[in-house]
Chains A and B, each alone.
Chain A
């Protein structure tokens, strides 16, 4: 199809309209339990139009829930970067380190957040009230750190020999070699890792909240499923998707800034 004026806006809108139509048809035909778009909107209006209202622990505006979730994600994600980036550097710099830890990383990497969470809760049993938060943080951090670890390692290994020769010839100290050469040269790879990690962290939050029942988009979703308010499940899904999309865009912007370097 030829591109035309405003196609960047009109074509996506057509796509959305088609999906909503399919949703409408489904809810009228084979999926009778599925609320129609209209019903979903009516039931969600309060949550969307007054996004920051707090009516009760599990009855709050959708953006307020999103805010809770984002805070938890931010903490877990920060932890993932703090641990993952140095680990990635060690992997990239040392063959022995890679040989020692790469197999275990490859084994731990595909483990689902749903499997990590119970372990996280067990680990922090002693923390009492804080247990669910710490467990969730642990899960987010451990699940989202792998892209950062692996991309950083690849980035460090890809630092051109030329740059290392410059560092060697000038006899830069280890610290200077790291800050003036290795880190700047690795940054583009690191940020690709950071972006992928953020996507995973956001995926994990929902699972973590569902299992722990913490207030947040995921917790709300699970509660409304149990309360049989199916409209709100859809509201949550859309919210999670939009927030994830926005986060990814933001990270892409940051990433592209470093790509030019």
Chain B
């Protein structure tokens, strides 16, 4: 395997070219504590900023799922101080005012698009903030759904917006108040509370394993 040259916090290392940034750091002797989570692109712990030697563009990625490149200058961003407003989900409603009250800074967005350019998930962050500004929480929820809340967008925002927290609020508002209610779920919860299934279940629980096996092996499977 050929080696490439990378720089962790400015310090030079030679590492096999097939490693991810995270594994390359471990290869070089880093015992990770911060900046390492699910190791598979879901948790946003390993946000990383890098620049390739000779280029001007600053790039972002998740260290767990990005391969090293020659001349990569790497700085991890294991924590970013996002603003998380506290609210009572039972009391708030999906009105335009609620965003205005909790995250008024979103209206100071200057449209520079730095958030979108810095998204480690490739989301259209500026667009979901625009939806939030207009109180279109269903659209904001959909557009932001794949967010891992790494905070990279906020680190680049001149208006000081905490985009992941804005999106979090929008998704909860959408899930609780806007998405259509599920009637079959409500009905089943009520039936169980009535004790409708109790007798059947209790009789199943008392059956010997041989009889349960018979039932299981011959059960009808929905196509």
Partners in one complex: no
Chain A residues proximal to chain B, CB less than 8 Å: none
Chain B residues proximal to chain A, CB less than 8 Å: none
